[in-house]
Amino acid sequence: MSCLRYEMKNSFFKKSAGVVCNFVNVCKTLAYRHQCNAFYLRLSKQYLRMSVIVGSRQSGYGPAAQYDFCDCICSTLGIVSTQCVCIAAKIQVASTKYRQEQFVVIGFDDRADGSPVFGQTVAFVSLSASDQWFVVVKRFNTIAFQCHFHAYDVEPVTPLECLCIPIEKLSDHHPLSPCSVQCHDGSRTHLRLPYHIF
């Protein structure tokens, strides 16, 4: 049995009780703050898991031909290179924030030991700002799992291979930050997952 869902709901009340410092009628105060929070989440649509908020400063709208990954998005979206698309460098899907240069798990290698396959985010693409969003990634090879770092050793695929994947089709929705480690044969990129895969 798991109590994680209950504890996640209960954590809001624990945080609020420590902030308000109300010792007279704490039940009424917590109930009021919970109703305000629920109303805010409904207005901002953060209760929807796939609601997307796009950063307006780093987003643009233009023909697909002006981007290096034009062939990738044209084949996935079924458009021609002269058609205009929305491009963003940062988006927020519900409470998860994605930005360029982060890594995501795009699949698992069934041919080897089932290790995760990673991709580095290049941009976020949509036909219109209210339409379905796709993430464009540079594919990386998973070399090995480094036990002493508890991380995966990865390297970029050569020649460069870009993939365009719907946000909801990602194998894992946790964005990962890379860590560079200096070795005797040069610098290596390590990625650590926030959990262990059996």
Q: What is the pLDDT of residues 104-157, one digit of tens each?
A: 999 888 766 778 889 999 999 998 766 788 999 999 988 888 877 788 888 888
Contact call for residues 178 and 103 (beta carbons, < 8 A): yes
Other CB atoms within 10 Å distance of the CB of residue 191: 21
Peptide bond into 159 cis (omega under 30): yes
Which residues fall within 8 angstroms of residue 188, CB to CB, at 6 or more apart?
A: 153, 155, 180, 181
CB-CB neighbours of 130 under 10 Å: 10
pTM: 0.69
Residue found by looking up tokens 């926030």 in the block: 194
> Tens of pLDDT along 19-45?
888 778 888 888 888 888 888 877 765
What one-letter code names the amino acid at 187? Answer: S
Under DSSP, the state recorded for 189 is E
